[in-house]
Chains A and B, each alone.
Chain A
Amino acid sequence: MTDDTPIDQELRALFEKLPAPRPKPGFYDRAIDAAVREREQGRVLHRSKLRWMLAGAGSAVAAGIVAVVVAGLLFDAERPRPDNAVASVHMTLDQPRTVSLVFAAGEPLENAQLTLTLPDGVEVDGFPGQRELRWETTLAAGRNRLPLTLVAVDGAGGDIVARLEHAARGRTFRLHVDVG
């Protein structure tokens, strides 16, 4: 565009700092080889991706874990919600909002696994289009806060499901998102 403002030019200069995506070494060769092989075989190879884990796991209640889902400000963590309680948060379309998930653990929990399942149209900032996120974490005894910046990208809203698992135990919590 020829009508760039100085600010647009600054923005474009910022883009120069974006690293150009580069494939892993040998990726192109492997991709070409695979394409040729598939043509030879005349079939579509169903590629599996080991990096993607399947969702879902056990559902035993964790005796040592209580948790609270809090929207905006922290509620009293000493008053845990029952397993099926649903907190709610109101969001405006395309306006990021930080909500905090608060987990109170009775004891330190190493290698706990937290899985977030998001409704269509609600995303965790930085993970566009992803419906499920999972990561390992460590909880200290007492209150642990996880702030998450959410963005509603359509108006449907729905429930965010947070599942915390440790060893063979787990609990599920819900946060309802209204978008308007």
Chain B
Amino acid sequence: MTTGADADEFERLVRPHLDRLYRLAWRLTGAEAEAEDLFQDIMVKACADLESLASVDEPGPWLSRLMYNRFVDGHRRRARRRLVVVDEGRLDSDGIAGFAADDDPLRESDSEQVAAILENALARLSEEHRIVVLLHDADGYKLTEIQELTGTPVGTLKSRLHRARARLRELLGAPDGT
């Protein structure tokens, strides 16, 4: 049975790390609904194992590893089978009758559009490349932190980061299309 003290302790331990965990969930899953599910799963798991959480020196990395392992273990597989109901306007082509000519994406000045273009390019990367470049370049993780999180050696991560950036440059430099 949980006591009020347990609830307070749990909140005290996790609260400082919530933003970083939420961003990690987003980076891993790439979608809000899946990110929320993954985040919630981790909260439940961490709370159920409050004694372990309370015993670690650094709850942040512990929670991040818990999330990553959970993602790898099964969340990803379930998410892939979900039906997504989309807004037609989110489709790359602007939906049916989307005959508008493609513009050079990098000439777009609006930062929202630039972000959308970048996200679109990121979506074309393999998962392992997307995750490393997002964690490193967007969220400021050090390669050693990503190694700790994923168990992948720094040398491999460095190589993936290099290839991911090269692919992104290629994708962003070329007009979208066939």
A residues engaging B (CB < 8 A)? 1, 7-8, 11-12, 14-15, 17-23, 27-28, 31-32, 34-36, 38-40, 44-45, 47, 49, 51-55, 72, 94, 96-98, 103, 114, 120, 124-140, 144-149, 151, 153
Q: Which residue of B lies closest to A98 (CB)?
A: B178
Contact (Cβ within 8 A) B80 A126: no
A sample of 17 cross-chain residue pairs with beta-carbon separation below 8 angstroms, ordered by A number, consists of A14-B172, A17-B111, A18-B118, A32-B15, A35-B47, A49-B33, A53-B83, A53-B85, A72-B178, A114-B96, A126-B91, A127-B123, A135-B86, A135-B91, A140-B97, A146-B98, A147-B93
Say whether, besides A15-B137, A47-B37, A137-B88, A126 and B123 are in contact (CB < 8 Å).
Answer: yes
Judged by a CB distance under 8 angstroms, whether B35 is at the interface is: yes
- Contact partners of A36 in chain B: CB under 8 A: 2, 6-7, 10, 47
B residues engaging A (CB < 8 A)? 1-2, 6-7, 10-11, 14-15, 18, 22-23, 26, 30, 32-33, 35-37, 39-40, 43-44, 46-48, 50, 76, 79-88, 90-93, 95-99, 111, 114-115, 118-120, 123-124, 126-127, 130, 136-138, 143, 158, 161, 165, 168-169, 172, 176-178
Q: Which residue of B lies closest to A146 (CB)?
A: B96
Interface of A is mostly: mixed
Contact (Cβ within 8 A) B39 A148: no
| Complex-state Cα separation, A28 to B92, whole angstroms | 32
Contact (Cβ within 8 A) B93 A35: no
B10, B26, B86, B137: the one contacting A21 at CB < 8 Å is B26
Contact (Cβ within 8 A) A54 B83: yes
| Complex-state Cα separation, A124 to B84, whole angstroms | 12
Q: How far is the CB of B65 from chain A (nearest CB, A)?
A: 18
Say whether, besides A1-B161, A132-B82, A135-B85, A125 and B120 are in contact (CB < 8 Å).
Answer: yes
- Contact partners of A97 in chain B: CB under 8 A: 178
| Complex-state Cα separation, A117 to B31, whole angstroms | 18
- Contact partners of A21 in chain B: CB under 8 A: 22-23, 26, 32, 35
Contact (Cβ within 8 A) B169 A47: no
| Complex-state Cα separation, A64 to B115, whole angstroms | 40
Say whether, besides A35-B10, A134-B86, A147 and B123 are in contact (CB < 8 Å).
Answer: no
- Given contacts A51-B85, A147-B93, 5 further A-B pairs with CB under 8 A are A17-B115, A39-B44, A131-B80, A145-B96, A147-B98
The residue in B90, B95, B172 that gathers the most chain A C-beta atoms within 10 A of its C-beta is B95
| Complex-state Cα separation, A134 to B87, whole angstroms | 8
| Complex-state Cα separation, A22 to B79, whole angstroms | 20
Contact (Cβ within 8 A) B123 A11: no
Complex A-B, nearest 5 residue pairs according to Cβ-Cβ distance, in ascending order: A35-B43, A21-B26, A35-B47, A132-B83, A147-B93
Contact (Cβ within 8 A) B118 A14: yes
Say whether, besides A52-B83, A125-B123, A146 and B115 are in contact (CB < 8 Å).
Answer: no
